[in-house]
Amino acid sequence: MRYSLKFADKSTKTTLSKSMSEKRTEIGEIGEFGLIKKLSEGLTFKRPDTFTGIGDDAAVIKASSDELLVTSDMLTEGIHFDLSYVPLMHLGYKAISVNVSDIAAMNGTPTHVFLNIGLSNRFSVEAVEELYKGINAACNDFNVELAGGDTTASHAGLILSVTCIGTGPKGKIVKRSGAKKGDIICATGDLGAAYLGLQVLEREKAVFKQNPQMQPKLENYQYLVQRQLKPKARMDIIHELNELGVVPTAMMDISDGLASELLHMSKASGVGMKIFEENLPMDGLAYDTAVEFQIDTAACILNGGEDYELLFTIDQKDHAKLEKHRDIHFIGFVQDLELGNVLISKQQNEVALTAQGFKHF
């Protein structure tokens, strides 16, 4: 995917409409129920366990013998996203993906999502349709059903609240609290790219504010921007672990930075974590961009956040099953709690891990 974003000017109300279409239909013209009807036109149930969804007072979903997983997340304009450079379609995709990622982090399979939206009068019907294109694309990618939700007016910009439901076989749900001494610490994909994508977007926004004639130059940063704007939950890894017969002892997704997640897992499991800088996975473009921005590469990986990769621990007996997997990296091992949570640098120095990732308050 190539990104040719244009920054929104001060007339955001006009931009949010004209960026999708010359026509602007005010939501008040068709009302809440008219908007719901328009957005659900052509929507059909894809999953056999969905009996009733959008259009009734509640969804009807067939219960299974598996354990039920439920997660909820909120994205608020100005806190979690900036519409001057975040396309609505990408925002819709991300809203679903980050919730699916939470289900994946429990070794579960997502099945249904419920979406609540708060809209200000800046948004036209066409803008909301653009948002839903991304939502529907994510639902298709992850085989989840958009089964309901609510829309309401907002005086504070755009607010998205997503609840995702999933299932997992009894005995195979993975929590943060199962790591034990001797386990191997694993991370998927590469880390730090999403944070660096954000730095690129913020830099280009600053240039635009100085000179509105300048539009973003993202050709050399495509991968980083994609990692920030359209992260993809690692359900592929969950399916592969299942096929290989590997059940992690502890797992969570990496949303607030690797260091923060390691400390959460340490506290929940009552163990220490020891990782090695030389084993931390980083994309080549991310590395080069960190150097360009004069940001320590290890800091990007440890504290960047929003990668939505998986952090998990495995019993040593499962090492052979995963050692040739090109997208799973062995970054350290679990040790006694009294030995602490540490990073061994490339110079073989031991450094205490501290969380400097995103803080909500």
Q: What is the pLDDT of residues 184-214, one digit of tens each?
A: 999 999 999 999 999 999 999 999 888 888 8
Enumerate the β-bridge partners of residue 210: none
Which of 3.40.140.80, 1.10.1760.20, 3.30.1330.10, 3.30.1700.10 is the CATH number of 12-168?
A: 3.30.1330.10
Q: Give residue 15's pLDDT.
A: 46
b/e sequence 241-271, b meaning 16+ C-beta within 10 Å: beeeebbbbbbbbbbbbbbbbbbbbbeebeb
Q: Give residue 14's pLDDT.
A: 42
3-state secondary structure of 216: coil
Using the predicted structure, report yes or no on whether residue 1 has a pLDDT greater than 50. no
Enumerate the β-bridge partners of residue 276: 344
Q: Give residue 189's pLDDT.
A: 98
Categorize the per-residue pLDDT at 58 as very low, low, confident or very high, splitting at 50, 70 and 90: low
Q: Which residue has the higher pLDDT, 270 or 59?
A: 270
Q: What is the C-alpha to C-alpha distance for residues 123 and 128, in angstroms, rounded to an integer?
A: 7
244-267: pLDDT as tens digits = 999 999 999 999 999 999 999 999
Looking at the domain 176-352, which fold is it? Phosphoribosyl-aminoimidazole Synthetase; Chain A, domain 2 (3.90.650)
Average pLDDT value over all residues in the chain? 88
Domain boundaries, given as residue ranges, for the chain: 12-168, 176-352
71-96: pLDDT as tens digits = 999 999 999 999 999 999 999 999 99
137-173: pLDDT as tens digits = 999 999 999 988 888 999 889 999 999 999 998 889 9
Q: Which residue has the higher pLDDT, 314 or 68?
A: 314
Percentage with pLDDT > 70 across the chain: 83
270-319: pLDDT as tens digits = 999 999 999 999 999 999 999 999 999 999 999 999 999 999 999 999 99
Q: Give residue 361's pLDDT.
A: 46
